[in-house]
A and B are shown apart, each in its own frame.
Chain A
Amino acid sequence: MKNSIQAEQVLNGGRARGPVLKLEEALSFWGAFDPGSGRILDRLHPQAGLCIAGQVLVMPQSRGSAGTPAALAEALRHKKGPAALVLRKADVNLTMGAMVADRLYGLETPVVVVSETDYEGLATGPMADITAGGQIILAPIDP
């Protein structure tokens, strides 16, 4: 595991800290996710039932609906959204959701894109600190 990754792109700036949670498949925030609890509802998602609140969420990009930004902002408002989003591809909807939540509620939620190699190397488990410049610093969680 690398202990530091530099993002290729910072889509929404900010600092965050949280444990890394890597999703096996893209998540649709609207309809397949409960913004009140932070849980994945989509029965077809391999990680259905998991709670993403406070996690540094690693996923390829978002899926689906025009409602995605509003659903992300709603989860962030409830403090049940991800601490940060680490993506493989630039994603307008997630950027918009994080940006609006920042403006309305003063919540910083970094949204960054990392290279394919770095994306493949990221796994669920360690604690991640995201710096404002898009650096992801990884450290094992103390037992």
Chain B
Amino acid sequence: MRSSIQYQPIPDAIADLSTTVYVGTEGPWVIITMALCGALALMVTPWMDRVRSADGLTGGKGGNLKYGTLRIKPCLPANSACQNSAGVFNGFMISPLTLTAEEQGLLNGDEGDALKFALEVVVRAAEVMGAKRLRPANFVHVDACHYYGQAHLDFSRFFLERGARFPITAWTNTVPVSLIQEELRDGADPDTLADSRRLAEDYLKLGAEPVWTCSPYHLPDGPGFGDHIIVGESNAVAYYNSVVGARTNKYGDFLDVCAGLTGRVPDAGLHRDKNRKATIVVDVAAFPESLIGNELFCHVLGHHLGRTCGNAVPVITGLPLDTPNDSLKGLGAAAAAAGGVALFHAVGLTPEAATLDEALQEQEPAQVIKVEPVDLMAARDALSSARPGPLAMVSLGTPHFSLEEFARLHHQMGDRKVHTDVHFYVSTSRYVAAAAAERGWLENLESAGVDVLVDTCTYFSPAIRGCRGRVMTNSAKWAYYAPGMLPVEVAFGSLADCVESAIAGEVRRDPRLWSSSTWGL
């Protein structure tokens, strides 16, 4: 198993280390901590958590002793991965990652076990990503509050029991079940629901604010342009990076929490300006204005972008300058779901793309894609699996509905009512629901037969009934995911189509949006 700590005398120069270090080739890195005092001693341990336990080496606190730590790993001369990295010498590679004294202190356990482990996780991620340093972040949108199993709870408890708290603003993503609306999907497992609520509460105890939304950018006082932030929810990653101009990578569960608790992220990926450069130009000039102005167009375009761009950074030219943020939200959500797009630019619309040149950072694109009507018609059709017939459900609000979308829904509904056979759900945040309620819209919509669901989403939530059969949505993301997760067929349409269909009790679409001539053919 893991080797025990061994001490060896250190020779005069670091370059001679390789002649003395043969132990500790376990694990990803060999950790060498040197006491930089008169009589140098060398300690070798493959695991950082053993450093602190060595006699006489307790993190550099004693007197004039100073400690320097090198992370090195064994490396064969013919090893291309190592040759590409900094600092290869005599069969060992020095980690390119440099830590500040404060960060080193956290790793040594100066602030306790919780922060020590949290920073170990961030450091490991930084090493995997090839970062040279960590950088401060000022906001985290926690994804790990979304219950999946006991490991999630064991992880939150690890930090709670050790007294950790987020030192930066922490908001929460959606959870599997609403924390304030009790209605349950038939057959939902009560233990899972209880654990899900327990996990949500754990994150509040860790200092997160209970916003429970996948559209945190609808809330006031959130991150702004240039902020370095920690986000895992894929649509929020795309929106914050693209529309707000904040900087985040797509942070998976655990790393989101550890980065949030330490307030540090690897300085890599989209935190670095040069990686925010667009490499693919996507030209949508071929489409008529009558179509391009409809939100449905942006959703379909997003789906197509995801399919064609993967996780590259595209810049879109030709979108109207009055394209609303809700359309960009739908575009980013669909592109992130179908392909992994974490950042897109839209010339004249998004903050890092005042001009095409700015988005390209004055360089030539690797690829130029002229989107043809036939491409988007194919994407549009791929999002609709439903055959004609009666409608069981309408689902709006993936990502969570904005106040502007509520205004449009309220206007479109007028004083009409949802067909009695149709469940009509709108998913949103508590904040936006409250704002819609203040304007009297929520009451009107509810009396028209619309259920407003908060904290969660219809496509994974055990919080709704009747989610089977033919479902209509205006979300390309919902249309893409739901058929794999729920027993549904999906009809994809505009917000207005969804309302008209809900009232009629069967799928109705504006024929103008679905004719070849509208799509430029």
Q: Is the CB of A92 within 8 A of B28?
A: no
| Candidates A13, A31, A77; contact of B484 at CB < 8 Å | A31
- Return chain B residues, CB-CB under 8 Å to A105: 154
Cα distance A65–B144 when bound, in Å? 12
B253 proximal to A (CB < 8 A): yes
Q: How far is the CB of A104 from chain B (nearest CB, A)?
A: 5
- Return chain B residues, CB-CB under 8 Å to A9: 28, 81
Q: Is the CB of B28 within 8 A of A10?
A: yes
Closest to A72 in B: B151
A100/B150 contact (C-beta < 8 A), A6-B79, A31-B484 known: no
Cα distance A115–B83 when bound, in Å? 13
Q: How far is the CB of B46 from chain A (nearest CB, A)?
A: 7
The main secondary structure of chain A at its interface with chain B is mixed
- Return chain B residues, CB-CB under 8 Å to A30: 148
Q: Is the CB of A100 within 8 A of B128?
A: no
A73/B25 contact (C-beta < 8 A), A13-B46, A104-B158 known: no
B509 proximal to A (CB < 8 A): no
A68 proximal to B (CB < 8 A): yes
- Return chain B residues, CB-CB under 8 Å to A68: 252-253
- Return chain B residues, CB-CB under 8 Å to A97: 254
Q: Is the CB of A67 within 8 A of B26?
A: no
Most A CB contacts (10 A, CB to CB) among B146, B232, B252 go to: B252
Q: Is the CB of B124 within 8 A of A73?
A: no
B250 proximal to A (CB < 8 A): yes
Q: How many residues on B have C-beta within 8 angstroms of the other chain's C-beta atoms? A: 45
Q: Is the CB of A104 within 8 A of B154?
A: yes
Q: How far is the CB of A42 from chain B (nearest CB, A)?
A: 8
**Residue interface mask B220-235, A partner, CB < 8 A = 1:** 0000000000001110
CB within 8 Å of B: which A72-101 residues: 73-74, 76-77, 90-93, 95-97, 99-101
- Return chain A residues, CB-CB under 8 Å to B121: 96, 99-100
Q: Is the CB of B76 within 8 A of A6?
A: yes
A69 proximal to B (CB < 8 A): yes
Q: Is the CB of B254 within 8 A of A95?
A: no
A91/B128 contact (C-beta < 8 A), A10-B28, A70-B149, A104-B158 known: yes
Q: Is the CB of B146 within 8 A of A67?
A: yes
Q: Is the CB of A92 within 8 A of B252?
A: yes
B425 proximal to A (CB < 8 A): no
Cα distance A130–B46 when bound, in Å? 17
B152 proximal to A (CB < 8 A): yes
**Residue interface mask A22-55, B partner, CB < 8 A = 1:** 0000000011000100000011000000000000
- Return chain B residues, CB-CB under 8 Å to A69: 252-255
Cα distance A67–B481 when bound, in Å? 15
Cα distance A31–B482 when bound, in Å? 11
Closest to A78 in B: B149
Q: Is the CB of B81 within 8 A of A8?
A: yes
B485 proximal to A (CB < 8 A): yes
B143 proximal to A (CB < 8 A): yes
Q: How far is the CB of B248 from chain A (nearest CB, A)?
A: 12
**Residue interface mask B120-155, A partner, CB < 8 A = 1:** 110011001100000000000001101011111011
| Candidates B120, B128, B144, B484; contact of A11 at CB < 8 Å | B128
Q: Is the CB of A66 within 8 A of B128?
A: no
A92/B26 contact (C-beta < 8 A), A67-B252, A68-B252, A69-B252 known: no
B251 proximal to A (CB < 8 A): yes
Q: How far is the CB of A26 from chain B (nearest CB, A)?
A: 11
Cα distance A66–B342 when bound, in Å? 12
B74 proximal to A (CB < 8 A): yes
Q: Is the CB of B253 within 8 A of A66?
A: yes
A123 proximal to B (CB < 8 A): no
B contact residues vs A (CB 8 Å cutoff): 1-2, 25-28, 46, 73-74, 76, 79-82, 117, 120-121, 124-125, 128-129, 143-144, 146, 148-152, 154-155, 158, 232-234, 250-256, 340, 484-485
A contact residues vs B (CB 8 Å cutoff): 6, 8-15, 30-31, 35, 42-43, 64-71, 73-74, 76-77, 90-93, 95-97, 99-101, 103-105, 113, 115, 132-133
A-B contact pairs, 21 of them (CB 8 A): A8-B80, A8-B82, A10-B73, A13-B46, A14-B27, A31-B485, A43-B484, A64-B340, A66-B256, A69-B252, A69-B253, A71-B148, A74-B150, A76-B151, A77-B150, A95-B128, A96-B124, A96-B253, A96-B254, A99-B121, A113-B81
Enumerate the 3 nearest inter-chain pairs by beta-carbon distance, A residue then B residue, closest first: A13-B27, A132-B26, A74-B149
